[in-house]
Chain A
């Protein structure tokens, strides 16, 4: 073939990994046998049909999704992406086969398998490029695992998903009568129990097994003896997401759907899974049963899908942060448990404490680790070796699950942050008494702590002693305010005044540094001022408002600003994820529309006003 023949095809193929590793002449030979097809949106390329010649596909333009036969998404493909080469790798479990569906009209280049096979027979080392590529592609399930439709379920209402099959009984009915009602009449796994026209309890078939059969409890006794009192319920208009969060949080499988004290349906884990393949919600369940770091790390794409679903569904930022924190907690707990299984039971009482945004339940997709271990005061030097191993394993494990290590080393792997309770109390005393720069930094990380695992009492004691110290030192809040207001929001952002130049983030606004952190700092100051233990930023402002320290107007303003900026950042991160980039906090002002400009300006002004107000109220002037 002539050198100039179809230079566009040769050039395109030649620049794609792994073809870029082949000699030009080989690429030219392959280009000669290329076939080109055009698939319209929604069209399926079935890769598993036996009767056709198999091909390696290159997406020239458009976008495709690869799905397993079960419908689970395997990857999303765009221009320059390849698919259809599992045949090259015998290790790949591909008995099920998969399909590729065009989500946009696509132009596809097809390279016959036979041409590649004969190339590899002639020059076996070329095969390696392709094999490794296949592995990489399979392992990098970076692409979303859930389709938009599946993700959409999160934001649907409970009434759209729940079933109407639930037994309704009264508290004085016998256990047997209730079982009969459940089994024979309603054919349901769950009954709601009323007394005096009020819902007082819930019983499930599992409860019957556990509490009646195993215990040999007399079945003529009233059901109220064995029911779960004060059951959790959901409203028909609640989001499926909220219901799922409740299920995960309290580890329940049945939620009666209640409207005006009337039971209208039942939401169960099983029927969610059966009907809607909504395993994303049960990520936490999966985390609980993972047995290795590797298995946990494989769940990362699902975590990302959940994050995307929440942001896309315009779920309020507070909820997003909470759900993501619940997932982070689950990873942490599971890793601790895996290590305990290996090392044996811990030699003394301890608490795994999370700090910073994780403690505040404000987790997003960039959140790194901030954690510490509080040991019982009777811990011996030998005991500490145990926790050193534990800390190492858990922090490294989290790192592999895409929770980056803390760059400031606020982790229990640092000896300073793995100490007995009495030492921690000393820390807080020192920090509050003498908040110099470094100590201020330390305390601002550990001002928010939450127990992720272990003895919760330690956290309570530390909170209490911290509040006592702060109350005793009038100057402390003032110093905190001074520090918090050192940075001002970028009121002049659109005159390019505060745009940072940092590496690739040329001329961008660091939304975290110049807006979010400022609000978080303010909330912390208000919470400490009113002695509130609230951790979430919104709850802290609420506490200050309840205590009359923050006016209604100021409260509404700062909440509005906070929510707007948070959702703005979430959308920014979502866009990055969708484009396959690493999400960050750096936002290019050129991408703002006039709506964003206006609202950002408003938000910055509100922050600046609040900073001034805090200075007046708490400052040491």
Chain B
């Protein structure tokens, strides 16, 4: 058992954090979550707090594209608490092309009222603390966040505790049919769970959508939200 625990992705992440040597940076908030205590292997899904994040960008490439907005909601005690949700528009971005404005419904005028990327990131990481970071298709969010940390603060990949609802869904789908060709988009997945249709392409609405999906996915585990978080995390690691 101990050996299995050793190779558990959560244990692996723990060792990554221990060997993450950078203990200091001029942007302390970025490092704070990497120093936080990770959940115990036997911690239950329902006892953890989650921050579900979605970002809207000008494209998929962290190097060439920019973050337009960030939205997140907090799940605490198996409840999404809208009092703690946040939606930030990033200002000083000259890359709002007409095309992406149409897709995201974000206009340069809206961004004028936004805050700087640094302010936004600082705020987000302060809020994140030791909570589990969740995204649907986290490769985008983690890509942009890691690139941000590298570009402005010369930091290596941050050992953050990512949980991915898309990967979870992929696991559920392939568990039933290995070659299944299911729609894994947020909208398509939500539909399968009977969750209401939302007008997407708003970071906060998508974050809320992913958060609701996570609650539904947790109920789908064999023991519901009383299942261990470690199990959920392991399922979410399978690509």
- Whether A38 and B205, one on each chain, are in contact in the complex, defined by CB atoms closer than 8 angstroms, is no
CB distance from B165 to the nearest CB of A (A): 13
CB distance from A13 to the nearest CB of B (A): 11
Of B73-81, B168-176, B179-187, the one with at least 4 CB within 8 A of chain A: B73-81
Q: Scan A1-40; emit 1 where CB is below 8 A from any B CB, else 0.
A: 0101111110010000000000000000001111111111
The answer to the question of A459 belonging to the interface, with a C-beta cut-off of 8 Å to chain B, is no
The answer to the question of A110 belonging to the interface, with a C-beta cut-off of 8 Å to chain B, is yes
The answer to the question of B167 belonging to the interface, with a C-beta cut-off of 8 Å to chain A, is no
Q: Scan B73-114; emit 1 where CB is below 8 A from any A CB, else 0.
A: 000001111110101000000000000000000000000000
Which residue, A6, A7, A105, has most C-beta atoms of chain B within 10 A?
A6
Interface size class of B (residues with CB under 8 A): 20 to 34
- Whether B195 and A61, one on each chain, are in contact in the complex, defined by CB atoms closer than 8 angstroms, is yes
Q: Scan A412-428; emit 1 where CB is below 8 A from any B CB, else 0.
A: 00000000000000000
Residue of B nearest to A106 (CB): B194
- Whether B79 and A35, one on each chain, are in contact in the complex, defined by CB atoms closer than 8 angstroms, is yes
Contacts of B224 in A (CB 8 A): 40
- Whether A37 and B78, one on each chain, are in contact in the complex, defined by CB atoms closer than 8 angstroms, is yes
- Whether B195 and A107, one on each chain, are in contact in the complex, defined by CB atoms closer than 8 angstroms, is yes
- Whether A36 and B85, one on each chain, are in contact in the complex, defined by CB atoms closer than 8 angstroms, is no
- Whether A5 and B85, one on each chain, are in contact in the complex, defined by CB atoms closer than 8 angstroms, is yes
- Whether B82 and A34, one on each chain, are in contact in the complex, defined by CB atoms closer than 8 angstroms, is yes
- Whether A8 and B199, one on each chain, are in contact in the complex, defined by CB atoms closer than 8 angstroms, is yes
- Whether B80 and A6, one on each chain, are in contact in the complex, defined by CB atoms closer than 8 angstroms, is no
- Whether A36 and B195, one on each chain, are in contact in the complex, defined by CB atoms closer than 8 angstroms, is no
Contacts of B199 in A (CB 8 A): 7-8
- Whether A6 and B85, one on each chain, are in contact in the complex, defined by CB atoms closer than 8 angstroms, is yes
Residue of B nearest to A61 (CB): B196
- Whether B82 and A35, one on each chain, are in contact in the complex, defined by CB atoms closer than 8 angstroms, is yes
Contacts of A151 in B (CB 8 A): none
The answer to the question of B118 belonging to the interface, with a C-beta cut-off of 8 Å to chain A, is no
Residue of B nearest to A35 (CB): B79
CB distance from A119 to the nearest CB of B (A): 15
CB distance from A40 to the nearest CB of B (A): 4
Given A60-B196, A105-B216, A105-B219, also A6-B205 (CB < 8 A): yes
- Whether A5 and B216, one on each chain, are in contact in the complex, defined by CB atoms closer than 8 angstroms, is no
Complex CA distance for A193 and B143, rounded to whole angstroms: 88
The answer to the question of B208 belonging to the interface, with a C-beta cut-off of 8 Å to chain A, is yes
Complex CA distance for A39 and B216, rounded to whole angstroms: 8
Complex CA distance for A36 and B198, rounded to whole angstroms: 15
- Whether A8 and B198, one on each chain, are in contact in the complex, defined by CB atoms closer than 8 angstroms, is yes
Contacts of B212 in A (CB 8 A): 36, 38, 107
The answer to the question of B123 belonging to the interface, with a C-beta cut-off of 8 Å to chain A, is no
CB distance from B228 to the nearest CB of A (A): 18
- Whether A32 and B219, one on each chain, are in contact in the complex, defined by CB atoms closer than 8 angstroms, is no
Contacts of B140 in A (CB 8 A): none
Question: Which of A12, A33, A38, A60 is the one whose CB lies under 8 Å from B216?
Answer: A38
The answer to the question of A207 belonging to the interface, with a C-beta cut-off of 8 Å to chain B, is no
Complex CA distance for A562 and B194, rounded to whole angstroms: 40
The answer to the question of B202 belonging to the interface, with a C-beta cut-off of 8 Å to chain A, is yes
Complex CA distance for A7 and B203, rounded to whole angstroms: 12
Complex CA distance for A4 and B109, rounded to whole angstroms: 14
- Whether A104 and B85, one on each chain, are in contact in the complex, defined by CB atoms closer than 8 angstroms, is no
> Which residues of chain A from 25 to 71 have any CB-CB distance to chain B below 8 Å in the complex?
31-40, 43, 60-62
The answer to the question of B13 belonging to the interface, with a C-beta cut-off of 8 Å to chain A, is no
Residue of A nearest to B224 (CB): A40
- Whether B79 and A36, one on each chain, are in contact in the complex, defined by CB atoms closer than 8 angstroms, is yes
Contacts of A7 in B (CB 8 A): 199, 202, 205
The answer to the question of B68 belonging to the interface, with a C-beta cut-off of 8 Å to chain A, is no
The answer to the question of B204 belonging to the interface, with a C-beta cut-off of 8 Å to chain A, is yes
Question: Which of A9, A38, A40 is the one whose CB lies under 8 Å from B82?
Answer: A9
The answer to the question of B153 belonging to the interface, with a C-beta cut-off of 8 Å to chain A, is no
CB distance from A115 to the nearest CB of B (A): 10
- Whether B205 and A33, one on each chain, are in contact in the complex, defined by CB atoms closer than 8 angstroms, is no
Complex CA distance for A349 and B220, rounded to whole angstroms: 69
Q: Scan B97-138; emit 1 where CB is below 8 A from any A CB, else 0.
A: 000000000000000000000000000000000000000000
Contacts of A104 in B (CB 8 A): 194
Complex CA distance for A35 and B85, rounded to whole angstroms: 11
Complex CA distance for A107 and B196, rounded to whole angstroms: 8
Contacts of A43 in B (CB 8 A): 219
Complex CA distance for A89 and B128, rounded to whole angstroms: 41
- Whether B219 and A2, one on each chain, are in contact in the complex, defined by CB atoms closer than 8 angstroms, is no
Contacts of B198 in A (CB 8 A): 8
- Whether B82 and A32, one on each chain, are in contact in the complex, defined by CB atoms closer than 8 angstroms, is yes
> Which residues of chain A from 101 to 130 have any CB-CB distance to chain B below 8 Å in the complex?
104-105, 107, 110
Q: State the A residues within 8 Å of B (CB).
A: 2, 4-9, 12, 31-40, 43, 60-62, 79, 104-105, 107, 110
Known contacts A5-B87, A105-B216, A110-B79; 19 additional CB pairs below 8 A are A2-B87, A4-B202, A6-B82, A6-B85, A6-B204, A33-B83, A35-B81, A35-B82, A36-B80, A36-B82, A37-B78, A37-B79, A38-B215, A38-B219, A40-B220, A43-B219, A61-B194, A61-B196, A104-B194
> What 5 pairs across the A-B complex have the smallest Cβ distances?
A38-B215, A36-B80, A40-B219, A35-B79, A34-B82
Between-chain CB contacts (< 8 Å), 5 pairs? A9-B82, A33-B83, A36-B80, A39-B219, A61-B196
